[in-house]
Structure 1
Amino acid sequence: MKKNIIINTVVMALLVLFSSSCKKDQEIGGTAVQNLAGDWYVKVNGTGPYITLSTYNTAANLSTEMWLQSTGLKSGTVALGVKGKVAVDANAQTFTGTNVANVASTSATIPTFNVANGKVVSNGTTGPVSKTPTDLISLDITINGVTYKVEGFHKTGFQVDDPANMK
């Protein structure tokens, strides 16, 4: 009988210990610019191959700025690689930048760039092959006095919409 009491006490203590040690997972929030952030497949002036453009939050995670990066951006044979912080209106899903310091490896030939009319339209387009609704990005980027229209779609996650698989 004494043995049963000891076993029951130990079992109850273990149950209390295990049940009190379980913690609920923390809710993971998004970033301040999450509706503007992601990997995009874009074309310059509506021609050429799709090129990857990335937008993402800064280390400060402010709703007023984000990184805009596309080191492979080209118009024909002209390299337009850029990486810089642009100003954001997260509620309007728009972004702009004047004399943005270019920290991409091409910064020697493109020390600064301007971004105008930058916007993201939620579900504003579809994946080119899957026809899955996805976000649209568009912007005018001025580099060395020449303005280029950049437009494309948010990465859908479907392999058929990945430019490497589109032939």
Structure 2
Amino acid sequence: MDARLRRAHEGLSCRRGVVEIDARKVNIAEVARAAGVGTGTVSRVLNESPSVRPATRARVLAVIEQLGYRPSRLATALSKGTPRSVAIVVPYMTRPSVVERLAGVISVLAEQGYDDIVLNVETAEQRDRHLDSLTERHRVDGVVVVSLPVPPRYLAAFQDARIPLVLVDADAPGVVRTVA
């Protein structure tokens, strides 16, 4: 193994032909260090930029393969300004009917290329904390609320924030389409 690779991933050890890797994920800085380039170059390789020399690209791709590096989908989306994620707010995930609805929503989101962020809610206070966070941080492309009432102030907040809101098995004043 190349000395740069050993330095880049000190948590890697080998005994009796078995490679052991510590539980932490390899990050882009470790890939860059092992390949002898900057993190920007690794990023350009991952984004298939033509500005990277073929020899450098090949070296970086080899290190990525050797270290098992997998870019974070969330980090990639945030860096491009396209999170492609939808929050799903659900009550009592132990109820079979809620689990069925949740599975259906997740399936449709995955088919459309969206990541899901599932937020389990057991109290009105918990629901409000999640809804406050979702309307204030603007880190999702949309919100699906399953079988929960949504207070009017949140309906207005989602509209003001231009965050699409879908209600499943719930009614709300002013929401034109409610999925039931």
TM-score by length of 2: 0.21
Larger radius of gyration: 1
Higher strand share: 1
Question: Greater relative contact order: 1 or 2 (C-alpha under 8 angstroms, separation 6 or more)?
Answer: 1
Higher helix share: 2
